[in-house]
Each structure stands twice: as structure tokens, then as C-alpha cells.
Amino acid sequence: MKALRTLFIGAFFTFLLPCYSERAMAAETPDLIFVNGKILTLDENVWFQWPKTQYGGRLVEAMAIQDDTIIAVGTNAEIEKLAGPETKKVDLKGRTVLPGFVDSHRHTTGYRPQDFPQIQPVKVPPSADKEVVRKGIFDAIKQEVQNKKPGEWIIVQPEGDVARQLILFEDIKRADLDRAAPNHLLVLNEVGSGPNSQIRFNSAARKVIEKELPGFKFYSDETIKKDGVNLSGLVIKDIILQGKEAEYAESIKKLIIATELPYGVTTVATRIMRVPLQALHILDAKGEMPYRHGWLFSDGSFYNGDGFYRRMPNTAGVGSKYLWSAGVQEEVVDSPSTGLCTTMPSKNAALTERHKRSGINTCFLEADPVMRATVKDQIQFQRGTGYHNSGDKTTDLMLQIIEEVQKETGMTDQQIKDKRIAFEHLHIIRPDQDAKLKKYGILMGIGTYYMESNLNPNKPDNVAQNFGEEYLKWQMPAKRFLDGGVNVLLNEMLGNPFEAVKRIVAREVCITPRLPGEGEIGVEKCMVIAPEQKVDRISGMMMATKWPAYYLLREDKIGSLETGKWADFMVIDRDYMTIPEKDIANIKVLMTVIGGKVVYASPDFGPVDKGLFKSPEYLGKAVLANAP
């Protein structure tokens, strides 16, 4: 009986302790309370379960914040009872509050172009006439040679599919660039056809890059031309802007304040290079990070030689509240804008011929053994994550690498799960692959931005055109993943994240063509893609907030509005749960709060106390209460 009594008392206090802790925290006097709102907490404690309850947890009226942390949520009466004489109060006036967006693949370590005139590119407009584009390129080079001193960098950016073909098919060779600019460092980087832009360098530029990246000299022009996404960033950020880290830090901060916080984005992850990473550390050391950032080291490290990731320390999870390592990444193991690495037969003979003529094997993990070895080392020795798995064959190849690591090391399924590996973009994922995706706990990152390709006849990742409409049901199949217990989240929510949420909830995508061959320029066209893969609104919002927090190794601190979590949230201008699906993309953010400090306030919110802002830098166009 004594043993039973001891067991009962222990069990009772085990049950009581969380309740006591929450009450103790709630008993503290808050610095700030928000009242009279519709606060969607998204506080469900079970990950990746389907279906969700209507509101994904409690829908409450009010919230209390002390320092940077939520200390209580509840009714107006409950929260106002906690307020002391110094507590500030914000009346939400019935508006909806959501956790801040957490985007696990958001390329926001760029810079404001006006801050670095030395890397301003010369743009060459698109044309359907190859000779017009060619002439435009060499006229631009000639003009820059006249304007710049020998030894300076020249960056020329032609736009459009014709420019891509000129580089892909070697109509413009390195020798042509050497003759045009023998004494300058020349980059020819096609843009406008997708993130994996085509690139070429003259000989002088190659020598500089080879000095910085030891393995680069082993890659031919034909190999690197498809790697514009890595190399353009490496050259501009880590080579040309080397030594400009302090200026880069200020440029990043201003860019984020102006373009990210007005959309309710409070945390991001992205692959990062050396100069931007050092810039973020400068901001963090000064307490000036504009939002939270989980960085994934990726500097095109397959150019750095064998064993790079074996020797590199595994820093995943290490850092501060605003800046930490989320792991490492060599994301471009497959590029949607070059062409899908898929087992599906292509219906587009012209695209097949283009790949053959240009010498590009779209299955990069097959074509490049160094890349494959790099990814294998990342998975074995690091927290490697965020891989482009646009086509189903790349998913097969990635799963094979995981199985090889297990076989060679004895690593268990749970040890693989604990790495939280993510596959991204997901243009074609076969249903028979789901079992292994679930087995290894792979996080399937859906970037709905790429749904647009199905409306653009120029895109190699146009699934409907190039492979068949029957495969659209396998494109970013969110509901299938959720039904089957496969982890899923939204990422690369370019621009307004509510547009990405709308696309996954309504499965509708619209584009307005702006380049020749995309359709009637300036006339919007829309498409509903596999409507059976729609998800409910709560799951759509979970995919953009709570579940990416798990990717970022901070699920205990961000992604939902719960006691003990950081006070990161947004106030919006309409009720997310009741407006028509198609209207979700039109939601406007009225206020963004990070760590209990206002970092953005729209004039439409109404007067805001100046003392609530993180610093004067964040006032913007806000209407201030008690302004002099």
C-alpha cells in the first residue's frame, strides 16, 4: 500500500506540475496585452495529423506578453486581470491574429542593388530574334569595357528563353567573351527563365573563381553553364563583395524591413554563403536582426573538394534567438527550370532534343559523382536538408543515398528521422514513394510558386505540357501526403505568403505573361491544378507556420501562439477562416510583431504607441498614437 500511495502521489504531481507552471507564468505581470481579437493559436500538440480540428487549437480573444514571450492566452477578462499599472494594451477591434509566417526556403540574404553600384548588371531585354539578343549582349559588353577599368567586374544579364539557348547551345563561347573583354572579369548570366539561370565566364573571371574555389578548375564550361543559381551568387556575394560585410549587413536589414515584415514573415531559413552569413552575424551581435533566421551553409561546396562536410563541425541548432544554424544544404540536386529528373516519358520532343544538344543530364545526382558524394557526406555527417526533388527520379536517388548511409554506418530509421531531411519543389512524386518518405520522416516542402510553370509553355517543368495532365495529381500532392502520414509544409512562399496559402487551399494559380512566348502579354490566365489535393485552411496555415518551425529546429519556440513561446505574430485585415478561398491571397497584414516588439504597422491598423516598436527604424508609415 505504501508503494502504491507513493506511486499515486508521484503521478498526481506529474499531472499537476504543467498546470502549476502555466499558472505561475500567467501570474506574472505582462508588459503588453492584446485584447478583443480572434487569435488563432494553432496550438495543437500532435504533429502532422490529418484532419485538423476547425481552428487548429483554441480561438481566443486576448494574449499577454512579457519581454519577448507569450505568458498567457485566454478571454479578455482573464488577460486584463493580469495587467498591472505599467502594462500597455492594444485593442485589436475584432481583427484576426495568426502566428508569423515561417518560411523554410526564402532567399532573403540578398542586398539592395542601389547599395552596391559595383555589381550593377547591364540588362539585355528579351526578344524572339536570336541575332537581336546576341547583338544586345555584345553591345552591352562593349559599353561596359569603355566604362570600367581593366581588372574590374562586368556583369551582363540577358533575359528570356532565347538568351538561355545562346548559352546552352554554345552559340556564345568563352572565346567570344575573351575577345570582347580581354582585360576585364566578365560574367554572362541569363535571367528570367527560372532560378537555375545559365552562366558563362571569360578566362580572366575563371582564374579568379578557381583561386577562391579549389575544385572549380575541374569543371568545364559545359558543366558549369547549368549552375548559374550557385555561381552567380558565389561570384557576386563571396568574391566581388568580399570585405564588404558591414555594408552588406546594413543592406540586408533595410531590404528585410522594407520587403519582408509587411507580409508577416517572422522567421526564415535559406542556404547561405560566407559574406551574407558574416553580415547576419554582424547584425546579431549588435541586436539588430530584423527577423529570425535559421541558416543553411551552402557555398557550392562540391567545388571545394572531397571530404569538405566530413571535416566541417555539425552546428545544427547552435546559435542565438535570432540567428542559428539549421544545418547544411546543397539544394540544387535537381533543377525544375532546367528540366525534371523523372521516370515519366517526355512528350516534348523539342525539349528532349534541347537537353541532348546542350549536353545536360537533368538527373544531376547521376551526372555528377562529386555532387552525389557531397550529398552523401551531408546526410551522414551533418544535418543535410532542403534538397530540390523536382522529379520523382531524384527522389529515388536521394532515398538510395539514405539507404546507402544506413547500410554503411548502421544508422537507424529513427536516427535518419532525427535529421529532419527535407525534399522540396515536388513537381512529380509517385504514390509508391510515400511509404519510404514516411519511414524516414522526410519533410516535403511545397513551393507553390512552381505551379505557375503549368501555364508557361517555355518552362521545362510544365508537367501538363511535357509529361501529361494525368501527372498533375502527383504535383505537390499535399492532401495525399497528409492522408498517408507524410510530413508536409509550405516553403519558398515568394512575395506574399498568403498567395502560397491560397494556392494550396484552392489549388488555383494565375499568371500574367510578361515575356514573349508565355502567352498574351499583360493578360491574366488561371488554372486549377488537381483540386482533389486541396487541403483545409487550418492545415494550409499550419504548413506555413507551425510545421516549418520543426524544419528550423525551433518548434518549441515559434510557429504557434502558446504560453512559453516567443511572441511572433501578425494582425490581418479580414477573417482568414471565413473569407472565400480565392480571397486568401488578398489578405493584408496590418501589424507584424516579433519578440513582443512591433516591426511593421500599416496605417490601416490605426494609431500605435511609438514605444511598442522595436526601434525608430521600424516606424515606416505607421500612424503613431500621442505623436507630437
Which has the closest alpha carbon to 508: 438, 452, 556?
Answer: 452
Predicted pLDDT at 20: 36
* Cα(325)–Cα(318) distance, integer angstroms: 6
Highest mean pLDDT among 97-106, 185-194, 359-368: 97-106
599-to-110, 372, 493, 602, 604 alpha-carbon distances in Å:
20, 42, 20, 10, 15
* Cα(65)–Cα(511) distance, integer angstroms: 41
Confidence of residue 328 (pLDDT cuts 50, 70, 90): very high
**Average pLDDT value for residue range 200-221:** 89
Q: Which three cell numbers stand for residue 82?
A: 493580469
Mean pLDDT value across the chain: 89
Q: Is the pLDDT of residue 90 over 90?
A: yes
Q: Which three cell numbers stand for residue 162?
A: 532565347
* Cα(500)–Cα(494) distance, integer angstroms: 8
* Cα(95)–Cα(40) distance, integer angstroms: 11
Q: Is the pLDDT of residue 6 over 60?
A: no
Concatenating the DSSP letter of every residue in 179-247 gives HH-TTSEEEEE-BSS-SS--EEE-HHHHHHHHHHSGGGGGS-HHHHTT-HHHHHHIIIIIIITTT-HHH
Say which residues have a Cβ less than 8 Å from residue 175's Cβ, sequence separation at least 6.
Answer: none
Q: Give residue-wise pLDDT tens across range 401-416.
A: 999 999 999 999 999 9
Q: What are the E-state strand segments in 226-352?
A: 265-272, 292-297, 323-328
Query: How crowded is residue 78: how many other Cβ atoms within 10 Å of its Cβ?
Result: 15
Predicted pLDDT at 404: 98
Phi, psi of 189 (to 5 degrees): -130, 105
Predicted pLDDT at 339: 82
Confidence of residue 68 (pLDDT cuts 50, 70, 90): very high
Say which residues have a Cβ less than 8 Å from residue 483's Cβ, sequence separation at least 6.
Answer: 50
**Dihedral sign for Cα atoms in the order 546, 384, 321, 563:** positive
* Cα(41)–Cα(55) distance, integer angstroms: 8
Predicted pLDDT at 95: 97
**Average pLDDT value for residue range 496-524:** 88
Q: Is the pLDDT of residue 456 over 90?
A: no
Predicted pLDDT at 110: 83
Lowest mean pLDDT among 278-282, 336-340, 391-395: 336-340
330-to-195, 270, 298 alpha-carbon distances in Å:
14, 11, 6
Predicted pLDDT at 9: 42
Angle formed by the axes of helices 161-168 and 349-358, nearest 10°? 40
Lowest mean pLDDT among 112-116, 131-135, 433-437, 546-550: 112-116
Q: What are the E-state strand segments in 364-439?
A: 387-388, 422-424
Domains in the chain: ranges and CATH: 2-100+570-625 (2.30.40.10), 117-240 (no CATH), 245-551 (3.20.20.140)
Predicted pLDDT at 195: 41
Predicted pLDDT at 304: 75
Predicted pLDDT at 627: 63
Predicted pLDDT at 4: 41
* Cα(70)–Cα(566) distance, integer angstroms: 6
Which of residues 7 and 557 earns the better pLDDT score?
557
Q: First-to-last CA distance in the chain? A: 72
Q: Give residue-wise pLDDT tens across range 462-474.
A: 999 999 999 999 9
Predicted pLDDT at 27: 54
The number of C-alpha atoms within 13 Å of 322 and in the hemisphere containing its C-beta is 16
Confidence of residue 169 (pLDDT cuts 50, 70, 90): confident
**Average pLDDT value for residue range 195-213:** 85
- ω into 607 cis (within 30 of 0): no
